[in-house]
Amino acid sequence: MIKLNVWGGAGEHGRSAYLLSGDRTHILMDCGVKKEGAGAYPLIQPELVSTLDAVLLSHAHEDHSVAIPLLYKMGYQGEVWTTRETREQLNTYFRAWRSNLERAGYELPYEETDVESIRYRYLEDQAKPGIWFEMIPGLHVLWGRSGHLAGSVWFVLEMEGKRIFYSGDYTSESMLLQEDCAAEALRLASLFRGKEKSSRINNLRLSQGMAVGDGIPFAGEPRVELAIANENSGISEVSLTPSLIKSSLNQPMDLAIVDAAYGTDRDTQADKLEQLDRAIRQTIARGGKVLLPMPSVGRGQEIILWAHEQFPGVPMIAEQGLLDGMKQLLRAPYWLREQGTHLKGPLRGAIERFLKGQSWYLPKSQEDRERLLNQYGASLWFIPDGMMQSSLARWYYSQLAESGENLILLTGHAAVGTFAQKLAQNPAEHGVCEVQKIRYKVHQGWLDVERMLQRLPARHTLLVHADKAETDRLREGLLKNSPSPEAELHSLSPGDELYV
């Protein structure tokens, strides 16, 4: 029996931390913070910290990562398993969290030496995505890209006879980032289990458009192409028959912890882009400016590239922080799709063209900003800081706030107490410009969760990353649509436990 302790992240947005305890093995998945006031940290049980065998980190965002130093302060001496890309981004998130707190007059609950004590191990040094490896004795792990952020991953764990899936933050609808379907990866991995040492498996892919074992009957000539590189013989391609594939269908998970951050929102990314397009066009048509505050890395780069194609004649201004994020994407090509979705042509080319382009402006000084604001009427302004806490974001707001033609367009989560959240709640209190919130998807909504449940059936599924009331509503809705008596759906709160 495995026990799950929710130290944070279920029934709330933030401080993701899930402890899995078996008879012999204790694993923590993520350890983040909830951005409220001094920060809400996971409900770590101090007496258990020294029993942890490993910490797995899904990605660099602070709601998954910045409480890790606290574990070291409490005596953890083990390793943190993540990707190299996540490691590269972590310094920025640790630093940002520290300066956020300092600015607000709060203190960090750990020291810089605790940050320096973190011992990282890299997943890709052990195994490629979709290949099982033994992380520590008795714990087998399979990982893949989760499409949420460069470096972000999902995990499948096998410990003490149980199988556990953790989606991390997950989306299959990023315009830029590739995700690996966990169900497909598992099926293919099972065909090769135990053979990893004799063949170096270079590339596993399902032939286009085929869904294996998703309840969709095999049509035509389905084929799985496997490119296997033997040390001596080079690459050979083999095709597998449907019956062989069927025989590799997955055993159900014992537990799945699934990103359900958007709760009952049923929109697809295409729906969201349509809504964004409409809001921007309306503002442009009346001669207004659109302010788009974005986190430095993530959806900002996606929306910039999309808007650049979508509104070719409209002046675009992008601040340095967001351009740095764009350059960073080029340094991490492994995490990118080859072909962007909702974007034209190969993705790397599109990013390179944008960075070389002359069709947008980069303000280099405060004077530049003021000049550009005066020069352009209808225009798009991409600025860093999605929560609008920085002085730069507040300054931009003050410049646009006094005209009803302008639009502040919020596209992501705004934590309680932040300026973006206050603005969304009561725009008229701060200015006369229009404020709209249209979410750009970097997590899963109702339909995505439904699809994940079908593809990765689990005896217990825990829906996470949204507040409790919304998670309850989603759970009700899912149960109504597809009641499955043998599978249990859970909506839990921090401090809760679950035995699987």
Interface with Zn ion (CB under 5 A): 61, 63, 169
Supply angle C-alpha 60, 64, 70, rounded to 5. 105
Nearer to Zn ion among residue 64 and residue 308 (C-beta) = 64
Minimum distance, C-beta of residue 298 to Zn ion, in the bound complex (Å): 8
Least distance from C-beta 111 to Zn ion, angstroms? 25
C-alpha 419, offset from chain centre = 23
Least distance from Zn ion to the Cβ atom of residue 295, Å: 10
Cβ closest to Zn ion, residue 150 vs residue 456: 150
Unique residue bearing structure tokens 């007496």: 47
What pairing do the DSSP bridges indicate for beta strands 497-499 and 379-384?
A: unpaired
Q: How far is the CB of 167 from Zn ion (least distance, A)?
A: 11
Distances 456 to 120, 208, 213, 360 between C-alpha atoms, Å: 29, 20, 11, 44
Residue 196 burial (CB < 10 Å; 0-12/13-18/19+)?
A: middle
Biggest CA–CA distance in the chain, Å, is 71
Minimum CB distance to Zn ion smaller for 192 or for 335:
335
* Minimum distance of Zn ion from residue 471's CB (angstroms): 14
Q: Which is nearer to Zn ion, 250 or 301 (CB)?
A: 301
Spatial separation of the C-alpha atoms in residues 436 and 428, rounded to whole Å: 12
Using the Cα atoms of residue 202, residue 208, residue 212 and residue 214 in order, give the sign of their dihedral: positive
For Zn ion, the closer of residues 63 and 385 by Cβ is 63
Q: How far is the CB of 443 from Zn ion (least distance, A)?
A: 7
Pairs from 395-400 (Cβ < 8 Å, separation ≥ 24)? 396/291, 396/293, 396/369, 397/291, 397/423, 397/430, 397/431, 398/431, 399/373, 400/289, 400/291, 400/431, 400/433
Burial 467-492 (b: 16+ CB within 10 A, else e): eeebbbebbebbeeeeeeeebebbbb
Residue 242 C-beta: closest distance to Zn ion, Å: 37
Using an 8 Å Cβ cutoff, are 258 and 167 in contact? yes
Nearest to 157 by CA among 134, 191, 189, 128: 134
Q: Which is nearer to Zn ion, 65 or 379 (CB)?
A: 65
CB of 413 to Zn ion, least distance (A): 8
**Residue 90: both structure tokens together:** 């972590």
Minimal CB distance residue for Zn ion: 61
| Min CB(59)–Zn ion separation in Å | 6
Nearer to Zn ion, 61 or 289 (CB): 61
Query: Residues near 96 by Cβ (< 8 Å), separated by ≥ 6?
Result: 62
Q: Residue 135, Cα to own-chain centre: how many angstroms?
A: 23
Query: Which is closer to Zn ion, CB of 34 or CB of 61?
Result: 61
Nearer of residues 169 and 184 to Zn ion, judged by Cβ: 169
Least Å distance, CB 189 to Zn ion, is 25
Nearest to Zn ion of 130, 168 (CB atom) = 168
